[in-house]
Chain A
Amino acid sequence: MNAQPHTLVTPLLTLTDISIAYGDHLAVSHAQMQLADGEIGCLLGPSGCGKSTLLRAIAGFEPLQSGQLSMGGRILATNQQMLPPEKRNIGMVFQDVALFPHLNIADNIAFGLQKLSRKERTARITELLKLVGLPGVEQRFPHSLSGGQQQRIALARALAPRPQLLLLDEPFSGLDAKLRESLVPEVRSILKTLGISALMVSHDQHEAFAIADKIGVMNDGQVLQWASAEEVYNQPSTHFVAEFIGHGDFIHGTVHCPNCVDSALGRLRSEIPHGFNAGEQVEVLVRLQNVQYDAGSPYSAQIQQRTFRGANILYSLLLSNGDKLACLTDPSVDIPVGAAMPIRPELQNLVAFPASH
């Protein structure tokens, strides 16, 4: 993951306690976050979680029910007033590309460049087409380009007026997997070259990790956590975040001390306190890499399913108390389904949540 050399830079975009409603339905409730200058953020969540609504509000297409939105010291919107989108200096790339079908590529890119002279405009178009890797397509029309090319043009068009902030609404979801894999890092490098701040919306964790410095995990209208990818993965703030990012399993346990929890896999220890009091019932996050096959371990779990994956074998396991786990082993470890598999937990720090039942 990329380090964040500019986290201490002044915030560019600030969302303060923002709520957005459609009639009686609260699409976004009390969202709070800050995007630093030059930073790429990504709102990540399942469909219908309010992430696109929040993005549209930042662009100026949705009024706020409460809260305040500001950028670079300017207030963009409150529940009383909103600056119209065309005055915000925010660029946007849309999921369905939304290139203007009646204009050629050059005119599409030049759409937001009316204030420039003809010469400056031509130069800017050439520069941008080079930047997005499509030089020479000025005279072609959008329908003659492939989906990936159209999305590059849409990016160039949004970047043309040099916006302070670029918003990307699931820009890659219309593309096939292979194209996405190559385009995502490319877009990141373009944005980083220009040093432009961007906020993307995605439902794909890998996409988010590949492009963003900061990730905002959303569910049910709430921004549950706004942090770096590492932090979101290693220190998820809620049960949902832990489950949504990186597919974690949970095992039940009882808190024994501030740094330890008793579970079906014995006493689990943590270097830093887990934050619960002795005697409390908790669920401890266990990722795939936290479970090791160990022939000498006193703990074991029953094998429910065995999937050969070439370089390794994935076992789905059931603990005696009903908790489910997964374990990845060397292909040489070959145990039949139904048998017991000796395992050892390998956790440095414990991420625990109150037991749900």
Chain B
Amino acid sequence: MIASAIQTLPFRRINWLSNLAVLVAAILALPILVIAAYVLTGSAEVWRHLADTVLSDYVINSLLLVVGVSIGSLLLGVPTAWLTSVCAFPGRRVLTWGLLLPMAVPAYIIAYTYTGLLDFAGPVQTALREITGLGYGEYWFFEIRSIEGAAIMLALVLYPYVYLMSRAAFLEQSQSTLEVSRTLGYSYKQSFFRLALPLARPSIMAGLTLVLMETLADYGTVKYFGVTTFTTGIFRTFYGLGDAAAAAQLAAMLLGFVSILILLERYSRRKSRYHGGNSQGKQARLIKLEGAAAWGATLYCFTPVLVGFLLPAGVLLYWALTQADFTAAEFISLSWNSFYLATTAAIIAVVLALLLCYAKRLSTRHHVKTAVTIAGLGYALPGTIIAIGVLIPLAWLDHRLIAFAKNTFGIDIGLVLSGTLVALLFAYTVRFLAVSLGAVQSGLDKIKPSIDFAGRSLGCTPTQVLKRIHVPLMRSSVLTALLIVFVDVLKELPATLILRPFNFNTLAVRAFELASDERLVDAAPASLMIVLVGLAPVILLSRSIARGKHTI
């Protein structure tokens, strides 16, 4: 009597899904594997040439940059986190989320904005000359287009990672921990250095590694400032020497640096489990700062907001409204390109994230978990590496396809993969899948398995459970994921520069090109657009902080 209603054991369908997940992960891992393969097989000659000439520059400059950005982002991120989470001073509430604003500004945009302000022809030096009457070469002024300048620019927009992570750690420290130290005879200052800071160290390290990953991945800033690092080296080798293999080998070396950072981050996260374990969720009472200390705190916290966001955004706005030579038609066409590219990439990334997360949820098998981890690795990789890793296999495949089409149909199909948006979308997916995975996974984690079971026992088929329970519950996480990937793609520069089809421009690419041509003012409208769109996830983040969740 039940023969018609009965179903076979549900394993086969789950197998199908988990196999698909493994396949997706394998495809997404392809660029990394290609790079890795080149390390073993690449040509020795170009490599030796590089090693003899520029390699030491790349290593030294990259390391100097890492040191400089570390110092800068720690100085900006940690004290502000401590002040906003533990002390009471004027403007604390506004500054708590205001300190996140610089995240919306891509490093290359802040770099050329400050160049426009501070270089010889800029308003600051011009005013200086007018006031003092000095001429060219008769006075010293900070050279922004230098490795120090690059480090400052990067620190200004990347410190919010350190700020966020250390703030979360400071908030987690229970009041009693600090009170114990006071009863044991420590002053506030001593408690900070001997207790709060060491306790927060794992989180600070985690934030710093994120900053450094972004630093190593940066192309726009260092290129614009003429600092030779790994990323510019990869570009130069790829375009200048036309040697994909050597570029890949450089990329692999950079990958080595990044891997060290990833391991460091994992390690610090492992240790971070020790702290905050017994925090009762009780918000510590704020230390009330008085007089000069209070205004000093306000000033200290306001400076990064001013220099990292308000000033550059204001300058961009001024340029865009008054001086920019930028036609509306071009602006609309660029925006359209950027928007549909970012939308498509966001949809792909979120659909794949949903697929991977559901496969992980439904399968108990270990290799699905591994697959999801591998699929999320791309976020740690600089865009240049991914671009090279995408281009090499796609170009190979294209040439096979061209030969096949010519022999079979007698037509020339051209570069259907590497010469089109396919390559770009593939690269974006590899790079940003981790972002959508994170958002989707955290949404899915909130739907306990028993919720699914409850739906089934109330008469829903698995499809109905998906429709009536998961879709409404997942909506906000999916939208968040779409938004974050959208914004990340919109800001992305190096991979877009390498992989974009001929004559295809986006806001980011055009802004960078105009700036590189010293048309800083004309680049402002596109840059302003990127910054404004970039504000959206920052607002989301600050809202979740306001609700008391301090995740990154």
Question: Do A83 and B473 touch (CB < 8 A)?
Answer: no
B2 at the interface (CB under 8 A from A): yes
- Complex Cα–Cα for A161 and B459 (A): 9
Distance, CA A346 to CA B174, complexed state (A): 58
A123 to B399, CA, bound (A): 69
Collect the chain A residues with CB atoms within 8 Å of residue B457's CB.
59-60, 85-86, 88, 90-92, 158, 167
Provide the residues of chain A in CB contact with B468, threshold 8 Å.
111
Contact flag A86-B8 (CB < 8 Å), given A92-B454, A98-B453, A102-B473: no
Q: Which of A87, A101, A111, A161 contacts B455 (CB 8 A)?
A: A111
Which B residues, 464 to 508, have Cβ-Cβ distances below 8 Å to chain A?
464, 468-469, 472-473
Verify B6–A85 contact, CB threshold 8 A: no
Chain B residues 447-468 with CB under 8 Å of chain A are 448, 450-451, 453-461, 464, 468
What CA separation (Å) do A346 and B361 show in the bound complex?
Answer: 58
Which residues from B are CB-within-8-Å of A92? Answer: 453-454, 457
Contacts of A297 in B (CB 8 A): none
B454 touches A94 (CB 8 A): yes
Tell me the nearest residue of chain B to A114, going by C-beta.
B459
In the assembly, what is the distance between CA of A94 and CA of B458, in Å? 12
Interface size of A by Cβ–Cβ distance < 8 Å? 36
- For the complex, what is the distance from the CA of A159 to the CA of B468, rounded to whole Å? 19
Contacts of A88 in B (CB 8 A): 457
CA distance A84 to B450 in the complex (A): 16
How far does the alpha carbon of A321 sit from the alpha carbon of B461 in the complex, in Å?
63
Report the minimal beta-carbon distance from A89 to chain B, rounded to whole angstroms.
8
Question: B residues within 8 Å of A by Cβ?
Answer: 1-2, 5-11, 448, 450-451, 453-461, 464, 468-469, 472-473
What are 25 A-B contacts with C-beta separation under 8 Å? A59-B456, A63-B9, A74-B1, A75-B2, A82-B6, A84-B7, A84-B461, A85-B453, A85-B457, A86-B458, A87-B5, A88-B457, A91-B457, A92-B453, A96-B450, A98-B450, A98-B451, A98-B453, A98-B454, A100-B451, A100-B469, A100-B473, A112-B459, A160-B458, A161-B458
Closest chain A residue to B471 by CB distance? A102
**A94–B472 contact, CB under 8 A?**
no
Q: What number of residue pairs across chains A and B have CB atoms under 8 A from each other?
A: 85
Interface centre among B9, B456, B458 (most CB of A within 10 A): B458
**Interface status of A152 (Cβ within 8 A of chain B):** no
**Which residues of chain A are within 8 angstroms of B7 by Cβ–Cβ distance?**
81-84
Say whether A316 faces chain B, with CB atoms less than 8 Å apart: no
Find chain B residues with CB under 8 A from A75 CB.
2
Closest to A74 in B: B2
Please, what's the 1-or-0 string for A140-180, where 1 marks a CB less than 8 Å from any CB in chain B? 00000000000000100110110000010000000000000
Q: How far is the CB of B477 from chain A (nearest CB, A)?
A: 12
Task: Report yes or no: A61 in contact with B456, Cβ–Cβ below 8 A.
Answer: yes
Task: Establish whether residues A98 and B448, one from each chain, have CB atoms under 8 Å apart when the complex forms.
Answer: yes
The distance in angstroms between the C-alpha atoms of A85 and B457, with both chains bound, is 5
Say if the beta carbon of A95 comes within 8 Å of chain B.
yes
Q: Is the CB of B473 within 8 A of A86?
A: no
Contacts of B456 in A (CB 8 A): 59-61, 84-86
* Interface, chain A (partner B; CB < 8 A): 56, 59-61, 63, 74-76, 81-88, 90-92, 94-96, 98-102, 111-112, 114, 154, 157-158, 160-161, 167
Contact B5 A83 (CB under 8 A): yes
Residues from chain A with a CB closer than 8 A to the CB of B459 are 86, 112, 114, 161
**B6 contact from A61, A81, A86, A167, Cβ within 8 A:** A81
Enumerate the 9 nearest inter-chain pairs by beta-carbon distance, A residue then B residue, closest first: A112-B458, A85-B456, A98-B450, A92-B457, A94-B450, A98-B454, A81-B6, A86-B459, A102-B472
Q: Which residue, B2, B456, B457, B473, has most C-beta atoms of chain A within 10 A? A: B457
Contacts of B460 in A (CB 8 A): 86
Residues in B with CB closer than 8 Å to A99 are 454
Tell me which of B1, B6, B448 has the highest count of chain A C-beta atoms within 10 A of its own C-beta.
Answer: B6
**When the two chains form their complex, are residues A81 and B8 in contact, meaning their CB atoms are under 8 A apart?**
yes
List the A side residues contacting B458 at CB < 8 Å: 86, 91, 111-112, 157-158, 160-161
CA A23 to CA B6, docked complex, whole Å: 24
Min CB distance B32 to A, Å, is 32
In the bound assembly, the distance between CA atoms of A85 and B5 in angstroms comes to 11
Bound-state Cα–Cα, A86 to B452, Å: 11
A87 to B468, CA, bound (A): 17
Query: Considering the chains assembled together, what is the distance between the CA atoms of A61 and B459 in angstroms?
Result: 13
The interface residues of chain B lying within 8 Å CB-to-CB of A63 are 9-11
Contact A83 B453 (CB under 8 A): no
Residue of A nearest to B475 (CB): A102
Residues from chain B with Cβ under 8 Å of A81 in the complex: 6-9
Whether B2 pairs with A94 at a CB distance below 8 angstroms is: no
**Docked complex Cα distance between A88 and B11 (Å):** 19
Give Cα distance in the complex from A59 to B472, angstroms.
25
Q: With the chains together, A345 CA to B132 CA distance in Å?
A: 112
Most chain A beta-carbon neighbours within 10 Å: one of B1, B450, B460: B450
Shortest CB-to-CB span from A94 to chain B, Å, is: 4
A160 to B457 alpha-carbon distance, docked (Å): 11
Residue of A74, A92, A95, A100 ringed by the most chain B CB atoms within 10 A: A100
Closest residue of A by beta carbon distance from B460: A86
Question: In this complex, what residue of A is CB-closest to B465?
Answer: A86
| Nearest B-chain residue to A89, judged by Cβ | B459
Q: How far does the alpha carbon of A95 sit from the alpha carbon of B454 in the complex, in Å? A: 11
Provide the residues of chain A in CB contact with B454, threshold 8 Å. 92, 94, 98-100, 154, 157
Write the nearest CB–CB distance from B2 to chain A, whole angstroms: 6
Bound CA span A94–B245, Å: 58
Task: Tell me, rounded to whole Å, the shortest Cβ–Cβ distance linking B4 to chain A.
Answer: 10
Contacts of B450 in A (CB 8 A): 94-96, 98
Residues on the B chain within 8 Å of A56, using CB: 453
**Interfacial chain B residues near A91, Cβ < 8 Å:** 457-458
Using Cβ atoms and an 8 Å threshold, which residues of chain B touch A86?
456-461, 464
- Min C-beta distance of B465 to chain A, whole Å: 9
CB-CB < 8 A to A101: which residues of B? Answer: 473
List residues of chain A with CB within 8 A of the CB of B11.
63
| Structural contact, B9 and A82, CB atoms closer than 8 A | yes
Q: Kindly state the separation between the CA atoms of A82 and B11 in the bound complex, as whole angstroms.
A: 12
Please, how many angstroms separate the alpha-carbon atoms of A118 and B102 in the complex?
Answer: 53
- Give Cα distance in the complex from A74 to B460, angstroms: 20
Q: B473's closest neighbor in chain A, by CB?
A: A102
Q: Pick from A59, A85, A114, A158 the residue with the most CB of B within 10 Å.
A: A85
Distance A75 CA – B2 CA, assembled complex (angstroms): 7
The distance from the CB of A77 to the nearest CB of chain B, in whole angstroms, is: 9
The answer to whether B453 touches A94, judged by C-beta atoms less than 8 angstroms apart, is: yes
| Complex interface: chain B residues within 8 A of A87 (CB) | 5
B287: min CB distance to chain A, Å: 34
- Bound complex: CA A63 to CA B11 (Å): 10
